[in-house]
Structures are given as C-alpha cells and as structure tokens.
Structure 1
Amino acid sequence: MTETGDLSTAGAQNGHSCCAPATSRAEAVDSHVSHPGADPAVNSESEPEFSFDFVTAGGTFDMGDPFGDGHPADGEGPRHRVNLTEFEIATTSVTNDDFARFVADTGFVTTAERLGTSAVFAMLLETNPGAEAHILGQAPGVPWWVEVSGANWAAPEGPGSTIDNRRDHPVVHISWDDAQAYCAWSGTRLPSEAEWELAARGGLKGRRYPWGNRLLTDGEWNCNIWQGEFPRTNTLDDGFIGTAPARHFAPNGLGLFNTVGNVWEWCADWFTRDYYQHSPQSDPQGPDIGDKRIMRGGSFLCHDSYCNRYRVAARSSNTPDSSASNIGFRAVRKAH
C-alpha cells in the first residue's frame, strides 16, 4: 500500500464505495479509542465559538428501517426500541468557519493534509480545472471518484480551490480521526449512531425522512441530493452540485438542519452488520471493536438509482482515516 493511500472498491457491491470511497492507509488504525459516550477534555485555552446552536434530545424511539428500503449488507434491521439519556446535539454540521477556528487555535493537520491526498467527486473538478493535473488515479468500478493530490478541507477540489465562498458550508475531507480531534478541542464528542438517528428523526415516528415519507413537498426539494442521471447529468433542481450551506433547507422538528443529504456525518460507533440483533436497549454505543466507523445521513451524491442512503434509518461506514469531498460531521455534548 502506498503512503498516499489507495481508493478501494471494498463494499462496492452494496454501494459503500459509491457513497464515499474507502481509503486504505499505510498507517495502522488504533481500535483502542475512548468510549463513544465519553466527553473528552477541552484543549482550547479559550471557550470555543460555534456557528451552530445546541438543542436537547433524548428519550425513547424505534430505531431502524420500518419499510425494508435498506441494503441488506447495511444491517438496518431489525427495528428495535432504544432509550437514550438526554444529550445536546448541534443544529448543523461543523462548518468551514468552525473548523478554521480549530486549526488556527491548534495548528492541527488533517489526515488528508498529512498524507497529501483525498477523494474528490470528478464532476466537481469542472469548477477547478487546474486540479486535473493533480489527479493520481480513479477508483476501479466507480470512476466518478478520483484521488487528487493536495485536496483537503481548505482546498476541497485540490490545488487552486478555496473555501472563501463556502465559509458557512459543512467542512469536508474530514476523517473520523480529524473529527475526534475537533471534538476533543471543543469539549464535544461525536454522536452515537442511536443519538444521531433519534435527533435526525426530529420527533417523527416511523418516517423515511426528517419531514415525512415523501421525498418532495409540494414539488419542492427538502434536501441536497442528486437529481438527474447519476453520474452523468445533475439537473441541479435543488440548486447545488456540491455542498449546500449548513443551514439551507428547512430544519426538522428538533431544529436540526440537513440531517439527510449534503454531507455524510461521522458517528462514534464501530460498524457491524448484525449489531441491531443484539444491541442493548439503553444508550447503545456500538460494537467494542471493528475496522470501519458508522457514517449517517447520505450526501449530495445520493440517488435512488444506486444509493438511497439519505433516509434517517440508513447506515453506511468507512475506515476511520478515509476522507472525501462529501464527508463531514456533527457534534454533541452532555446535556446542561
């Protein structure tokens, strides 16, 4: 394996590499991390500023897919009752502005920056033609994902691109390890998978989406996903080829924005297909060990023709050191 990594087709059969490419890094992944429910110490010398608010969530809900919509390999069933202790969750994904403050305060270097490469959706390179000279390769079987030298959170489409006009968009090209570092600095943590799903549902019971069961409302789009023929034609009916601002579209009943579509959001848990078959009813934290971490919510690339993971019950996963132009995160903290 090269130091710059290898775009892997592992999981392509069930759509994982289509949703967000898994990246196999040369460095070993440490499975002995802090418990997903632990709140790390604040490393900042001053109180961190957030572009988002926090809202309180918790209680009992039915977790999992009630419709049979999911990919069998994702393990969205069986549907089961879950009780969650109260917690606070951010109303938006962490934005470029938020992450920039973290980097300015700590000098943190992300996985993509350290290894010099990240995965970019090929069509986005049309907005930054100079980046084509920095393409290192394509993922076999999913050529819409290309590995671009110099692509990272501050240069999302590679050298020559910038976040200057996207300060209020979700930060992307973030590995699970990067998200953990931000949380440790800010006195927050990543949500457990169960916390994420309860909050994403926004109080609605047994629905596909945060707003109900129909994708459109009066002909209007409620989220940022792909429209048209993937991956050749995006009609941009929702207004975006890439990410949308973190507060775009109406919030769910809890006040959370873009819990489906826009960017994948890391959760704390390891992924296993059969976890729901034996997960505890109270405050489940995922398996004790694994090789991939849970991602939730789908992204701007989701489309029914190959990936309908923009539902609140949908699950996906990726290696903790993977980064791409559609992967970000959302923070939670203890209820005050």
Structure 2
Amino acid sequence: MKRTYRLYIWILINLTCSFTACIEQGEDVLNPPSTFVEMITIPGGIGRMGDIVGNANQPDELPVHQVSLSPFMVSKYEITQELYMQVMGNNPSANIGSMANPVDNVTWYDAVRFCNALSTHEGLNPCYIETVDNTFECDFNTNGYRLPTEAEWEYACRAGSETAFHSGGNEEDVERVAWCAANSDGISHPVGLKEANDYDLHDIHGNVAEWCWDWYNPAYYSNSSLDDPEGPDSGRIKVTRGGSYYMDGFALRSSSRVHFLDPAVKGSQTGFRVVRSVL
C-alpha cells in the first residue's frame, strides 16, 4: 500500500512539474476543446421579447414583439477567470477570490477578441473581422464563438417563461437563481452555484452582467427584424443583459435593458458568455 501511495505522489509531482515547465517555456497549455466550454443547444422557435409582464414602465422594452430564432448553442456558464486566463494569458478581473468566478473587468472588445482566440484554439472559423477603424463585423454563418444577440440572450434566459425572471415573478424568486444585491455581499461568486433555468443555463440572472453583440437603441424594438434579429447597424454603446451581483431584482429581469456601456469601458460587474450558430 505504501509503495502504491509513493508511486501516486511521484506521478503527481512529475505531472505538476511538467505543467509548470510548459508555462515557464511559454508553451500552449490549453486543454483539449471538449474540456473548455460546456455548450447547451437551444432549439429554434418563436418567443416573445420585451416587457411581457407589463409593469416595468421602461419604454425601451416596448413594444412586446415576437421573434423567430434559428437554433444556436450557448455556454452553460459565464466565462470563468480560469478559462479566460488559459485562452488570453491574463486575468483582468477585479473580483479575485476563485478562478471559478466569472471573468470581469473586460471591455466588449476584450470579449469579442476572446471569442476569436477560443475559436482559433479549437480549430473553428472566427466569427469576427476587425476593421481598420477598430470596429468589428460578425459572420453569423460561421462555426466559431461569438457573443449572443439581444434576442438570443433573452430567448435563452426565458427558456419558455413569460414571468419577470425565468424562476418566477417575484424578487424572492430571483434570489434562488441569481447572485444579486440581496445575497451577494457585493462580490461575484463561482459559476454554477445557483439553480439553472429550464435550458440548464446558470447565472443568466445576476453574478456578472453579460455583454451582447447589439448596439443599444432605445427605439429598436419598434422596427427590429422579427427573424434572427442582429441589432442596429451602428451605435455608440453596447447592450449588457442579466444584471449583476450589485444590482436589485429590477435590473435582473429577463427583459431588462437598463445596463448598457461604451464598448471600450470595463468594470467589475461586467463579463460575458458565448454562443455558436448551429449550421
């Protein structure tokens, strides 16, 4: 028994040393693709978008309208600090407590560059093309990672629900599924600790607010496409969805658009999750 135990310790030490050596030599230590991002396939369909409940008094959530979405895949969890570090080589997060916490303190540009880097590492075709004026175009018909559109995000968040939160209609319902002002102690928490929605997505309410692809336009719902909407063609600020650990339930609602930022701005309450088109 002692010999077996010593052999185990010897193997563990050597594996640790080998891993450390790879890091010191600057080698790519990225894990096999299957261990990276657990993706959930969201079936295509028709869903209602906006203030379905009808009591938010937020003009940018109106009119309530139906959208038709093609199937897509979405990450089960928000991108963690560990994964971001593996792919990008740094951890910009302000909430340093666990590498299983969602990455934060990333700009919208950081998020789309992460998507391209992860796509390249996995042998997929990057979705984003960076133009000469420091903007990005997205090819929705390629197989790489990208940020969700607002419509995809809300459809995935609702998971068929038509209440304020996927978990119900009261603020008490959101505390069961989200880290928010009422229960977070003002910090983010490791992903996956709260109950998932009916699509098995965790932390889609709260923890960190999530960057979306879309430019923010308060009047967009009045003239948006009803089939796979991709957001306005241009704008000044980008949408984030889901609210954060520092916000109350109103900002965490499935339809809420109250949190939007300049794409070059980063903060301790903002991170992201990724999606892929089903081709």
Using structure 1 for the length normalisation, give the TM-score.
0.62
Whether the 8 Å CA contact 2:177–2:205 is kept in 1: the answer is: no
Q: In the alignment, what sits opposite 2:255?
A: 313
The Cα of 1:183 is off from its aligned counterpart by: 0.4
Whether the 8 Å CA contact 1:51–1:97 is kept in 2: the answer is: no
Q: In the alignment, what sits opposite 1:328?
A: 271
Q: Following superposition of structure 1 onto structure 2, how do residues 197-276 of structure 1 map, counting pairs within 5 Å?
A: 197-204=154-161, 206-217=162-173, 221-227=176-182, 238=183, 240-276=185-221
Whether the 8 Å CA contact 2:177–2:194 is kept in 1: the answer is: yes
Q: Separation in 1 of the partners of 2:112 and 2:278?
A: 19
Q: In the alignment, what sits opposite 1:235?
A: none
Whether the 8 Å CA contact 2:77–2:203 is kept in 1: the answer is: yes
Unaligned runs of 5+ in 1: 1-43, 109-151, 158-162, 228-237
Q: Separation in 2 of the partners of 1:253 and 1:279?
A: 27
Q: Structure 1, residues 251-290: CA drift from partner, whole Å, max 9, x if none?
A: 0000000111111100001110000001111000010000
Q: Separation in 2 of the partners of 1:212 and 1:72?
A: 20
Q: In the alignment, what sits opposite 1:87?
A: 72
Distance 1:310 1:50, change over 3 A: farther
SS in 2 for 1:56: strand
Q: Structure 1, residues 213-236: CA drift from partner, whole Å, max 9, x if none?
A: 12225x963311112xxxxxxxxx
SS in 2 for 1:216: helix
Greater C-alpha radius of gyration: 2
Whether the 8 Å CA contact 2:177–2:196 is kept in 1: the answer is: no
Q: Which residue identity does 2:164 align to in structure 1? A: R
Unaligned runs of 5+ in 2: 1-28, 120-144
Using structure 2 for the length normalisation, give the TM-score.
0.74
Q: Separation in 1 of the partners of 2:115 and 2:222?
A: 30
Whether the 8 Å CA contact 1:194–1:283 is kept in 2: the answer is: yes
Q: In the alignment, what sits opposite 1:189?
A: 146
**1:153 matches 2:95:** no
* Higher percent of residues as helix: 2
Q: Structure 1, residues 55-82: CA drift from partner, whole Å, max 9, x if none?
A: 1112110011123343536x01110000
Q: Which residue identity does 1:330 align to in structure 2? A: R
Q: In the alignment, what sits opposite 1:70?
A: 56
Whether the 8 Å CA contact 2:88–2:117 is kept in 1: the answer is: no
SS in 2 for 1:61: strand
Q: In the alignment, what sits opposite 2:246?
A: 301
Question: Once the two structures are aligned, what percentage of the paired residues are identical?
Answer: 31
Q: Separation in 1 of the partners of 2:216 and 2:62?
A: 13
Distance 1:245 1:298, change over 3 A: same
**1:179 matches 2:179:** no
Q: Separation in 2 of the partners of 1:208 and 1:276?
A: 18
The Cα of 1:48 is off from its aligned counterpart by: 4.2
SS in 1 for 2:276: strand
Q: Separation in 2 of the partners of 1:69 and 1:268?
A: 27
Q: Which residue identity does 2:169 align to in structure 1? A: N
Aligned pairs, how many? 224
* Higher percent of residues as strand: 1
